[in-house]
């Protein structure tokens, strides 16, 4: 079996660094990215601000007390997304299999690519140089035989280093890592492990896998496998999101009601559909990002299904109609909205963009006739919405939540 070679690429201090590119006067100064006042929470803190004790998820007022020298800025999501897409553009030159874990980090399946670009250590240098040249950002890289260990490696590679863990030594490498810093655990689950006397990842192996599975279910089993340095998860390529087709709604105030959020989702689907139709484009993929009030985010991707007239389901095909986009978004939302935490904003985006066909079928059947009717309906709706913008525009009931 071919030994896998996975690179985890992590941008150093991404949010602060991107804001520093916009305003070089912020260089070497403490920067804290916070949501809108007065409920603003710290979304990201630069290394300098972290030295003062500022951490992600704390309130802006607490952060101001801790770090009076810091500059507090609102997030510029458009800028963050552009920087992220430039980074992933570089990564895709080195392997066709690239997974975006968040805006600032991702995995590259480098297996077999060393024939083209040399060993991962050398490719890492080239990746770092290209990202620095094209975006001005610094990255750290971890190389290992699986995603989990490469993630731990890139964390220990901070800043602007590369850590290559040789195959067969994954277990030795993760053993001394404190459980709170292990990707599968995090700070919330660490106390439960500490009660068992598990302070470091290697301590997990003092128990049996069955005990961990009994205590913590499937997560316990995953953690046990992780402590052995094993992770079979593949690097999944997600469709590339087109920056032109991204819509966001920031909630004032933060909301938690599921039905209300579904209504917001429908409004976003309407806006995204309108953008796609204005550009005569179809989306083959829909992405949704749920941003929580505590700074955490969850995201997912799905495929829109073209809704047949009078039927509940439909074939998966590129689409630009509101219902198809909404149905895909709602499915992603059901998966992504797993925490009972207030939501700050929802971001809906489209990917795998293809041009909408201009030519209609010569011998149109029922399906084509339905598509044509729906096209006319949306064209009329778009005209009305542009004539009566905002809440005065005609809308479906579910969008009025």
Query: Where along the sequence are the contacts to other proteins (CB under 8 A)?
Result: 121, 124-125, 128, 139-141, 153, 156-157, 160-166, 169, 172-173, 175-176, 202
The least distance separating other proteins from the CB of residue 142, rounded to whole angstroms, comes to 10
Q: Which two tokens stand for residue 291?
A: 């941003």
The least distance separating other proteins from the CB of residue 341, rounded to whole angstroms, comes to 36
Residues contacting residue 309 through CB under 8 Å, at least 6 positions apart: 366, 370, 373, 374
Q: Residue 4 or 128: which CB sits closer to other proteins?
A: 128
The least distance separating other proteins from the CB of residue 227, rounded to whole angstroms, comes to 12
The least distance separating other proteins from the CB of residue 137, rounded to whole angstroms, comes to 12
Yes or no: say if 341 and 230 are a contact pair by the CB < 8 Å rule. Answer: no
Q: Of the candidates 82, 401, 97, 65, which has an alpha carbon nearest to the alpha carbon of residue 258?
A: 401
Catalytic residue numbers? 105
Q: Residue 85 or 161: which CB sits closer to other proteins?
A: 161
Measured distance CA(186)–CA(326) in Å, rounded: 33
Q: Residue 226 or 305: which CB sits closer to other proteins?
A: 226
Q: Residue 197 or 390: which CB sits closer to other proteins?
A: 197
Q: 3-state DSSP call for residue 316?
A: strand
Place of tokens 């971001």: 347
The least distance separating other proteins from the CB of residue 175, rounded to whole angstroms, comes to 5
- Three-state SS letters, 207-273: CCHHHHHHHHHHHHHHHHHHHCCCCCCCCCCCCCEEEEEEEEEEEEEEECCHHHHHHHHHHHHHHHH
Q: Residue 160 or 278: which CB sits closer to other proteins?
A: 160
């Amino acid at each position: 079996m071919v030994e896998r070679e996975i690179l985890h690429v992590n941008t150093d201090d991404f949010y602060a660094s991107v804001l520093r590119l916009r305003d070089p006067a912020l260089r070497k100064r403490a920067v804290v990215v916070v949501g809108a006042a007065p409920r603003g929470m710290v979304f990201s803190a630069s290394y300098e601000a972290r030295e003062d004790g500022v951490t992600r998820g704390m309130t802006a007022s607490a952060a101001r007390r801790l770090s009076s020298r810091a500059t507090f800025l609102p997030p510029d999501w458009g800028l963050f997304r552009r920087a992220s897409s430039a980074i992933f553009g570089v990564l895709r030159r080195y392997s066709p299999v690239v997974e975006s874990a968040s805006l600032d980090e991702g995995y590259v399946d480098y297996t077999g690519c060393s024939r083209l670009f040399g060993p991962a250590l050398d490719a890492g240098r080239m990746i770092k140089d290209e990202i620095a040249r094209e975006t001005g950002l610094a990255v750290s890289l971890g190389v290992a035989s699986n995603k989990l260990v490469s993630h731990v490696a890139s964390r220990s590679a901070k800043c602007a280093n590369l850590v290559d863990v040789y195959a067969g030594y994954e277990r030795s490498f993760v053993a001394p890592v404190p459980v709170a810093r292990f990707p599968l655990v995090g700070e919330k689950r660490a106390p439960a492990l500490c009660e068992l006397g598990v302070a470091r990842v290697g301590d997990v192996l003092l128990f049996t896998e069955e005990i961990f599975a009994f205590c913590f279910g499937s997560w316990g089993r995953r953690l046990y496998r992780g402590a052995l340095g094993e992770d079979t998860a593949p690097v999944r390529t997600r469709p590339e999101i087109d920056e032109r087709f991204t819509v966001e709604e920031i909630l004032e105030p933060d909301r938690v009601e599921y039905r209300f959020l579904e209504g917001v989702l429908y409004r976003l689907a309407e806006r995204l559909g309108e953008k796609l139709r204005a550009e005569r484009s179809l989306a083959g993929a829909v992405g949704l990002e749920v941003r929580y009030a505590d700074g955490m985010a969850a995201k997912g991707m799905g495929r829109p299904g073209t809704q047949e007239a009078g039927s509940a389901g439909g074939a998966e095909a590129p689409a630009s109609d509101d219902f198809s986009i909404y149905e895909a978004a709602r499915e992603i939302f059901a998966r992504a909205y797993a925490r009972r935490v207030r939501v700050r904003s929802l971001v809906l985006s489209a990917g795998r963009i293809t041009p909408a066909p201009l030519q209609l079928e010569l011998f149109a059947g029922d399906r084509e006739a339905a598509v044509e009717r729906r096209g006319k309906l949306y064209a009329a709706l778009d005209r009305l919405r542009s004539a009566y913008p905002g809440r005065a525009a005609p809308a479906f009931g579910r969008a009025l939540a």
